[in-house]
Amino acid sequence: MKLAIAAAAWILIACSARPQTLDELAALYRYDRNAPLDIQQKELAARDGYKLYSISFALPKGARMPGFLVSPNEPGRKPAIVWMHSGGAIEFLGNAVLMARAGAVSLLVGEAEGMPGGSAEQARDQLIADVIGLRRRRPASSPQ
């Protein structure tokens, strides 16, 4: 009986979901290009093939996004990977080191500090826009 109720609930949830429109998806990539990011970055370690930084940047309404930046030692433009997860910024640090040794920059974001309340979807959408703005302003990552 519990299985039937759970299955019925899942079906109702799935049926009520709708795909996002193109305008809704495009809104995720709109941001104020003139808003200051106030990037604070501190080198924590320089190892064979990569550098590890503690990083934070400004979010709207006074909030900050902390995390880690892992960058290959070689200069020049690099592809960028943004790691977003619920286990904290350190959860995929080992994977980011492997990616840096392979030539990619990784930004591992943590939990926003001082973020105003709202739905999980609103927080996700704002975080996507903020990380895209940060990535586009960092010269070591590719804009595409």
CATH number at residue 69: 3.40.50.1820
Nearest to 82 by CA among 22, 20, 26, 142: 142
pLDDT tens digits for 59-89?
777 788 889 999 999 989 999 999 986 677 7
141 pLDDT exceeds 60? no
At 19, the pLDDT band (50, 70, 90 cuts) reads confident
pLDDT tens digits for 89-134?
788 999 999 999 999 999 998 877 766 566 667 777 777 777 777 7
pLDDT computed for residue 143 by the predictor: 46
**The overall pTM is greater than 0.85:** no
| Residue 5 placed within a domain | no
Domain around 94: 22-137
| Residue 74 placed within a domain | yes
pLDDT computed for residue 69 by the predictor: 94
pLDDT computed for residue 15 by the predictor: 60
| Residue 88 placed within a domain | yes
Domain tally, the chain: 1
Nearest to 133 by CA among 72, 57, 77, 71: 57
Question: How far apart, in whole angstroms, are the C-alpha atoms of residue 121 and residue 118?
Answer: 8
